[in-house]
Amino acid sequence: MPISSKPPSTTTPTTPADAPPKSMRPNLHERVHSLRKLRIAQGRVRVRRTITRRDGVRVEVDGRWLTEFCGNDYLGLSQQFEVVSALQDGAARDGVGAGASHLVSGHHAAHEALEREIAQWLGYSRGLLFGSGFLANLAVQQALLQEDGDVCVQDRLNHASLLDASLLAGCRLRRYPHADAEGALRQLKHAPEGAAMLATDGVFSMDGDVAPLRALTLVARMQQALLYVDDAHGVGVRGPEGRGSVAEANLGMAEVPLQLVTLGKALGGYGAVVVGDDALIQHLYETARPYIYTTALPPAQAAATLAAVKHARRDQWRREKLQGLVSRFRTGAQRYGLGLLPSDSPIQPVMCGDDASAVALSSALENAGYLVTAIRPPTVPEGKARLRVTLSALHMPAEVDAMVEVLARSRDAIQRVRGAA
């Protein structure tokens, strides 16, 4: 047969030189630049403040000492001398890092002791230590909601880590109106027939109010859903022995099989512990990717938190003083007509409405010597910008009174300027 003069065919045809170019992919640097411009126009640029030194509720920022009213050290344990000594002694003994993940060679005796102490404190069978509350919330949902049709029903104002965990876990996410147990029931009734989890904050981080836990317990039981409570802002502050909002509602492991305790709020440290019954904790221990595939928390940090837990359990005076300061702040703020939300927790939002008012009020307070950060969307809903005032057992009554007075005076000055404009 004659040899063909045609070139061999190829599976990928060549593109003619005069063919129109393919559409260009978005340039990520250009996208970042345009989003930055939008945030500037909206007044929503986030700025990190560098703390040079800290002394109780006093912090040095840009060479000035300010009184902080926006932290989470509710019981004042982050610098308590026995807690700091435990950190130093632990580092001298075990070094500054765990050396590996928990399931390799990074699980130290300090981790074990902390898990056991927190579980015993809260009345649960076991605890499991994580590097952060964000990791812990992801671990719980990834490990338990694995099948098609599984659903997590959540309060609309839950912390971002709970909401993001559902998206990352791949389960269905359904949200109900804030603190609306009937809304949670409706969402569960209309959810697919897969496994279900009902997840809520115990104390809501931006509004400071408490979830209707007893009503949610009934909803979870009726719908065969597992109730999971993230009590980051409740444990240490609320309930008998500071055991949190679950204990305050006279509930326990039978009604709330899983609960999250973060270690960086009232306990003054870092990390988180999930407490639950043996079977659930064992399952997380063996399957949760955010637990398996990361280095364990430094054992010295665990030793420090263990010391903090012991203080949180026995130092009832810290909670009593804190609650007195909360009442003092609310009384003063109401006297001046400041816009508060119905919260009896150390989280006291002062509502400003628009972003510009919140930023202006925060700046005025800083000029007067107080650090109170403006909270704006998307952290809170549109039109609900605020100052998130938080109180600590380390604050003095006179400091609270003076801050409230400056807050009211600054609000009045801002309103006068706006009225004149």
Q: DSSP characters for 298-326?
A: PHHHHHHHHHHHHHHHH-HHHHHHHHHHH
Q: How many angstroms from the chain centroid is the CA of residue 182?
A: 25
Identity at 326, one-letter amino acid code: V
**pLDDT-based confidence at residue 2 (cuts at 50, 70, 90):** very low
When mean pLDDT is compared across 8-12, 105-109, 348-352, the lowest value belongs to: 8-12
Please report the beta strands in 205-354, taking only residues with DSSP state E, as ranges in sequence order: 226-230, 258-262, 272-276, 347-353
The answer, yes or no, to whether residue 235 has pLDDT greater than 80, is yes
Q: Kindly state the tokens that stand for 232.
A: 């980051």
133 is in an annotated binding site: yes
**Residue 33 assigned ligand-binding role:** no
Note the pLDDT tens digit of each residue in 107-166.
999 999 999 999 999 999 999 999 999 999 999 999 999 888 999 999 999 999 999 999
229 close to 260: Cβ distance less than 8 angstroms: yes
400, 328 in Cβ contact below 8 A? yes
User: In the numeric block, which tokens belong to residue 130?
Assistant: 């994580």
Residue 205 among known ligand-binding residues: yes
- pLDDT score for 1: 45
Confirm whether residue 339 is marked as ligand binding.
no
> Mean pLDDT across the stretch 193-212?
96
Q: Is the pLDDT of residue 421 over 70?
A: no
Average pLDDT over residues 389-393: 98
The verdict on whether residue 134 carries a ligand-binding annotation is: yes
CATH 3.30.465.10 correct for 81-314: no
- Residues 358 and 374: their CA atoms lie apart, in Å, by 5
Buried b (16+ CB within 10 A) or exposed e, 235-262: bbbbbeebbbbbbbbebebebbbbbbbb
Task: Kindly tell me if the per-residue pLDDT of 419 is higher than 90.
Answer: no
Q: What does the domain layout of the chain look like in residue ranges? A: 47-75+316-420, 81-314
* 283 among annotated binding-site residues: no
Three-class DSSP category at 350: strand
43 is in an annotated binding site: no
CATH of 47-75+316-420, one of 3.60.21.10, 1.20.1630.10, 3.10.20.30, 3.90.1150.10: 3.90.1150.10
Is there a binding annotation on residue 81?
A: no
The pair of three-digit structure tokens given for residue 307, joined into one six-digit string? 């010391």
Reported confidence tier of residue 415, pLDDT bands at 50, 70, 90: confident
Closest CA to 304 of 50, 156, 79, 83: 83
